[in-house]
Structure 1
Amino acid sequence: MKCFQGLRTAMNKAAVAFGVCCALLIASIPTQPAIAATVKMSTSKICHDLRSPYYERVKIFTSYPSLDACLADGGRLPKNIRANNHATVNPGYSRNAYKHWIDEDKDCLDTRHELLTDLSTIKVTTTRNGCRVLRGRWNDPYSGQIIFDAAAIDVDHLVPLAWAWQHGAADWSPQRRKEFANDPVNLFAVKLDLNRSKGARGPYEWLPPNQKFHCQYVSRYLRVMLIYDFTSSSREQIRTLRDTICD
């Protein structure tokens, strides 16, 4: 009996020692803190960064890496905060800085409708005066789906105008910005909702849901950046991403 009791005592001590060791081991494992969203867009489309007095109160939100990205995706600032108080907003940026959707050849079709005509796999249907495309057949590379109604399509700037401004376009001439905004190399016909969800985000922040198109998407993005005078650091970042995705 004494032998049995001694054995049980030894086992209990061993169990305690094992538990202490496990606790110490777990405590020594480094943990990664939860990464909070830099900017939160509330359900009412208000963009809150860390300086907003309501930041901690917003529990249901879409996260963005910057205030610029949130605002470009349809968000707005809180009423008590003026945009010029935020250094993160692109200084001087306005979509009007780019003369886009022009009718270069004076045939009454602007850049958008010229592109819809060129990309349709069938003959397009237009308005009576021939100035607007109504129907066709478009392969949306972002979703991998086929679209027939032009009203369901946005013509997306692959390299977004606001993103371009932040990475070099602010220093371009007005003529160069016009060329960029209407260059078919930088344009895709895609589902309206996908273009809106992308907003002004670059490929580090947003990629199309069609994973088969990721390599082409980033490769084309880099191609545009090599054509136009973007900063060398931003080019190298996209090149690195391209090499990673297309590996």
Structure 2
Amino acid sequence: MKEQTITRSAATKSLTALAALLLAGSLTGCEAASHVGTKLAEAIGDARSGATGAPSAAPAEAAAALAQLETIPVKGRAPKTGYSRDNFGPAWADVDHNGCDTRNDILARDLTNETFKASTHDCVVMTGTLADKYTGKTIEFVRGADTSSAVQIDHIIPLSLAWQTGAQQISEEQRKLLANDPLNLMAADGPANMAKSDKDAATWLPANKAFRCEYVARQTAVKAKYKLWVTRPEHDAIAGTLDGCR
């Protein structure tokens, strides 16, 4: 079922409350930071649904994201030695046990006007329309060997980047959850996703400037949730983007 979109005013009110809690110190520790960051990223996205042009997130939203960022350690990037996609479990595992794999769950969440393959209990998405957040384009998705790649599922924090910023040190189960977490996943324009590859915020940001606030807020939330760190250039790029959102 599609998530209900809340209004900008409602989202701003919720973010103001979250920001006040975080900045006042009422919520502390990694779990609290992760919770606030997750709700922050969701509310920024909800508040900006339908918005166009340059980022215009409310000051409370940007302040809360910046406060979350400061809870994340800053370290150098670890070597990529030993990285494999297999370190994060089977691709598109059904971690929520709803009978559908993660790729189809995200397609169903992010596309509109979807159709599904018969006899799959509305699991296998066959067609749909994507309002792509990375480019601002509208893309018609059609499942098929020659067409599926037009819409890809992107990891907001690429798995290779995660591996080099702390994922080597978390459990196999946590890595599997990271690879399949809806907070860290988004249907996206295939070429834009390929261009992003495993780059961090210091080396790649969406061409669609209206999405950059939510993008870096979600990156921050994922880093906090899975106890990953940021590099100094990554930290500064995220902070600079969020500061511009205000």
Higher RCO (C-alpha under 8 Å, 6+ residues apart): 2
Contact 1:215 1:242 (8 Å CA) reproduced: yes
Is 142-151 or 159-168 further displaced after alignment? 142-151
- Quick one: which of 84, 89, 95 aligns to 1:104? 95
Q: Give the counterpart letter for 1:168 in structure 2.
A: G
- State the distance in 1 between where 2:210 and 2:133 align: 9
Contact 2:95 2:177 (8 Å CA) reproduced: no
- Quick one: which of 119, 122, 126 aligns to 1:129? 119
- Quick one: which of 122, 130, 133 aligns to 1:141? 133
Q: Name the CA shift for 1:179/1:105 in 2 (closer, same or farther; >3 Å).
A: closer
Q: What is the TM-score of this pair, normalised by structure 2?
A: 0.59
SS in 1 for 2:127: strand
User: Which segments of 5 or more consecutive residues in structure 2 lack a partner in the other structure?
Assistant: 1-77, 143-147
Q: Give the counterpart letter for 1:190 in structure 2.
A: A
Contact 2:165 2:230 (8 Å CA) reproduced: no
Contact 2:95 2:180 (8 Å CA) reproduced: no
Q: How many residue pairs are counted as aligned between the two chains?
A: 159
The higher radius of gyration belongs to: 1
Q: Name the CA shift for 1:241/1:172 in 2 (closer, same or farther; >3 Å).
A: farther
| Superposed structure 1 runs of 4+ greater than 6 Å apart | none
Aligned pairs for 1:226-245 (under 5 A) are: 226-231=224-229, 236-237=235-236, 239-245=238-244
1:91 counterpart residue number: 81
Q: Name the CA shift for 1:145/1:97 in 2 (closer, same or farther; >3 Å).
A: same
What percent of counterpart residues are identical?
Answer: 34
- State the distance in 1 between where 2:128 and 2:158 align: 25
Q: Give the counterpart letter for 1:119 in structure 2.
A: D
Contact 1:101 1:112 (8 Å CA) reproduced: yes
1:162 counterpart residue number: 160
Q: Name the CA shift for 1:107/1:219 in 2 (closer, same or farther; >3 Å).
A: closer
- State the distance in 2 between where 1:106 and 1:223 align: 24
User: Which segments of 5 or more consecutive residues in structure 1 lack a partner in the other structure?
Assistant: 1-87
Q: Name the CA shift for 1:194/1:236 in 2 (closer, same or farther; >3 Å).
A: closer
Q: CA RMSD in A?
A: 2.2
